[in-house]
Structure 1
Amino acid sequence: MATVQVSEAEKVYIMHGVRDDLRVDGRGCEDYRHMEVETDVVSNTDGSAKVSLGHTDVLVGIKAEIGKPKPAVPNEGYVEFFVDCSANATPEFEGRGGEELGVELSNTLYKVFNNRHSLDLRSLCICPGEHCWVLYIDVLLLQCDGNLFDAMSVAIKAALFNTRIPKVQVSEDEEGGKEIELSDDPYDCMRLDVTNVPCIVTLSKIGHRHVVDATLQEKACSVASLLISITHKGLVTCVRKLGVGSLDPDSIFEMTETGKRVGKALHAPLMELLQKDESLGKKRQKVGFLA
């Protein structure tokens, strides 16, 4: 992860502000920075979105391709993630550092999104045991100013909402085999139900309190963070601790409850924004999310 150097005086200043629920940029402990969401930004994909959270910029593109279902779940499709950390975002992403972080982020995203509780994978099945849709989700980190997971999750949900998969007709040939024909009509497509797709809320423990959407400076003052993926109903689908420090059970409980509250408050304006963009034919809106 990208890091910055913070002096002891700065750490004291930041920690005292968090204690009083007044952060350096004027936010409260449970407030997000302004977030800008833009959909349909990459022409050669089936769905795409770009999210700017503070100075963190994330671009997501989705391509749907026909593949073979996994043997354990023959009636479901699946998703694959690839995260590319641009060296322009921070010098720490150059070389092996960016590759290792990309693999770590991909594995976490896979756990959060590739399950039937987050996405209706059965809707991606074409012929059970033979053909299914595979969603290849490419995430590009353009700029890093902390809170990568939250920005990525919002961008992925927006890109899935924007994704259009061609309708498929399956017929049998003379030899009894199956032929697959894709519709040429761009309006004859399948949309994904993103209602249950979770958003990630990362909470960082600073002193005796925790904050949402930590900047790099605040991250440098944090002993540990808790990553929580939340559905629109407040269901927790994944929890992961980040950082070298430890968290006591009371802190984990408090952070989880905060994450559920903030996560539920994040979904409604995001979906409203995406639906408004689609109905008005607009691609770009700016909105600030507050817990």
Structure 2
Amino acid sequence: MPLSEAEKTFILHGVDENFRQDGRDREAYRPMELETGTVQHAFGSAHLRLANTDVLVAVKLEIDAPFPETPHEGKLEFFVDCSANATPDFEGRGGEDLAVELANTLASAYQSRQAFDLRKMCILKGKKCWKLYVDILILECGGNLFDATSLAIKAALHNTQIPKIKAVNIDGDNIEIEVSDSVSDCEKINIENAPVLVTLCKIGQHCIVDPSLSEEQCTVGSMVVAATKNCVSTISLLGSGSLHQDTLFQFLDFGCKIANRLNEALMETLANISVTNENVGFLK
């Protein structure tokens, strides 16, 4: 529902005073809850809820042929489905443009080897590799979709078990891959440097993170920064607003700082889930 001018002014003044309408400061996120292993027949999965934003991610695997230009790498593909029940804006074909934009941003963020090294997905150079399908279902949209989705993806990849290859039999052009069928005979994916997406919104003269739906309507410019511990893997401007050059560099520094903070909290949470086998909330 569009905001009135009075509501926009109220939000603007709150951001200016570093006291947003829900009591947060400009750098604070809303509470999150995370579950892993929620999809029974997937190789890995995660369910993350950020306030009213609800995202489910499942990872599937299959053996495929690598691309000719990258014969020593595996494949990674993102598919986003925006449920019509997530928000009235997704009814009909309303969610398709957002789904394509989100999938493209994620593909760009994971393209760098410093972010995610697909060489470890190679089985036989130039012949066979693992292909990872990352399916993302947007169950509810309450703002800040890019951040929530990236955290859910990283958690799902952490939960993913890749079966070990027992044997590779080559008979001319015929290649047979023998895969272990034991649940305990699997390998984990190294997601330490996998990127975290941070959405930065400029409201008035200040930058905020984790915008709510109402705050997104007040922004004069938004940018998504995909950052790892070592680099910025991609940046993407959202909407029709523009940013001054000085603001752009400010956003990059701010986004990297927030991404590192999010990554530390997520990795600590995933470690706790692995030890206790219980799903927990974080950033409360």
**Are 1:272 and 2:256 counterparts?**
no
Aligned to 1:28: 25
> Which of 258, 262, 274 does residue 258 from structure 2 map onto?
262
**CA shift for structure 1 position 171:** 3.2
Give the counterpart of 1:130 among 119, 123, 127: 127
Q: Distance in 2 between matches of 1:98 and 1:249?
A: 31
1:196-240 Cα offsets, whole Å, 9 max, x none, are 00100000010010100000100110011010011134x211111
- Deviating beyond 4 angstroms after TM superposition, the runs of 4 or more aligned structure 1 residues are 173-177
Whether the 8 Å CA contact 1:150–1:202 is kept in 2: the answer is: yes
The match for 1:247 among 235, 239, 243 is 243
Over residues 75-127 of structure 1, what are the superposed CA-to-partner deviations in whole Å (9 max), with x where a residue is unaligned?
A: 00011111000000112112221222212211111111233221120110000
Give the SS at the match of 1:203: strand
TM-score, normalisation: structure 2: 0.97
Match of 2:152 in 1: 155
Partner SS for 1:264: helix
Q: How many Å separate the matches in 1 of 2:91 and 2:9?
A: 31
Q: What value does the CA root-mean-square deviation take over the aligned residues?
A: 1.3
Q: Distance in 1 between matches of 2:181 and 2:274?
A: 22
Of residues 48, 67, 76, the one that matches 2:45 is: 48
**What SS does the aligned partner of 2:6 have?**
helix
- CA shift at 1:172, angstroms? 2.9
Distance in 2 (CA, whole Å) between partners of 1:262 and 1:240 is: 16
Structure 2: 5+ residue runs without aligned partners? none
Trace 1:147-186 onto structure 2 (pairs within 5 A).
147-172=144-169, 177-186=174-183
CA distance in 2, matches of 1:128, 1:37: 37
> Residue 32 of structure 1 contacts residue 213 of structure 1 at CA under 8 Å; is this kept in 2?
yes
CA distance in 2, matches of 1:175, 1:90: 54
| TM-score w.r.t. length of structure 1 | 0.94
Verify: 1:288 aligned to 2:283, yes or no.
yes
Q: Deviations over 1:34-85 (max 9, x none)?
A: 1111100000100000111110000000001100100000000011111000
Counterpart residue number, 1:19? 16
Query: Is 2:108 the partner of 1:107?
Result: no
Distance 1:252 1:131, change over 3 A: same
Q: Give the letter aligned to residue 191 of structure 1.
A: K
Contact 1:223–1:243 (CA under 8 A) maintained in structure 2: no
Structure 1 residues 174 and 232: CA distance shift in structure 2, 3 A: closer
State whether structure 2 residue 74 is matched by structure 1 residue 73: no
Paired position in structure 2 for 1:9: 6
Partners of 1:247 and 1:179 in 2: how far apart? 53
Instruction: Give the whole-Å Cα distance in 1 for the aligned partners of 2:267 and 2:229.
Output: 10
For 1:214 and 1:174, the matched residues in 2 are separated by 57
Question: Identity rate of aligned residues, in percent?
Answer: 47
> How many pairs were matched up?
284
1:58 equivalent in alignment to 2:41:
no
In the alignment, is the contact (CA less than 8 A) between 1:67 and 1:134 conserved in 2? yes
* Structure 1 alignment gaps of length 5 or more: none
Compared with structure 1, are the counterparts of its residues 171 and 82 closer, same or farther at alpha carbon in structure 2 (3 Å cutoff)?
closer
Note the alpha carbon deviations across 1:140-179, whole angstroms, 9 max, x for none. 0000011000000000000000000110123335668432
**1:285 CA displacement:** 0.2
**CA spacing shift, 1:174–1:194, aligned 2, 3 Å:** closer
